[in-house]
Amino acid sequence: MTKKHDGPELLGRIVALPNSPDEAELDLVTNPYKDTVYLVRFTAPEFTSLCPVTGQPDFAHLVIDYCPADCLIESKSLKLFLGSFRNHGAFHEDCTLRIAHELIAAMKPRWLRIGGYWYPRGGMPIDVFWQTATPPEGLWLPDQGVSSYRGRG
């Protein structure tokens, strides 16, 4: 399980990439607009993990949207957490949903959705989408902006 800090403990420090998601730490910061319904988007266009069967690298473009409540995820800790999957063997669905569930457990947002746009494995792209529930009323939800895989077509 990912550790959680209340306050930026990783920011401004030289920190090695965690060896696994289990070793990663997520820093939280206080949301200065906790009474406002708004969207935060993180995009990770170069996410990597390992195939649990072959050990070969898998690549994805992740888009994480959330409506914060009391706290925000500090971006450096999120980058390190996502980077910790580089040596982690798991299927696309597992990686995508694990990221979502770890973020929810750490910051308890009003709402979260994740789009995992995975590049082809065995000739077939696998896209994984999930959200916690219906978005809060009044939340502006832009398109995630990632096209479906088209290959050379």
Q: Which of 27, 58, 67, 95 is catalytic?
A: 58
Kindly give, in sequence order, each residue whose CB lies less than 8 Å from that of residue 37, ignoring residues fewer than 6 positions away.
67, 110, 136, 137, 138, 139
CA atoms within 13 A on the CB side of 130: 16
Q: Which of 6, 22, 51, 143 is catalytic?
A: 51
Q: Can you name the residues that pair with 137 across neighbouring β-strands? A: none
Max Cα–Cα distance, the chain, nearest Å: 47
Please, are residues 75 and 94 in contact by the beta-carbon 8 Å criterion?
no
* 71 classed as catalytic: no
* 58 classed as catalytic: yes
Give the residue numbers annotated as catalytic, written as ranges: 51, 58
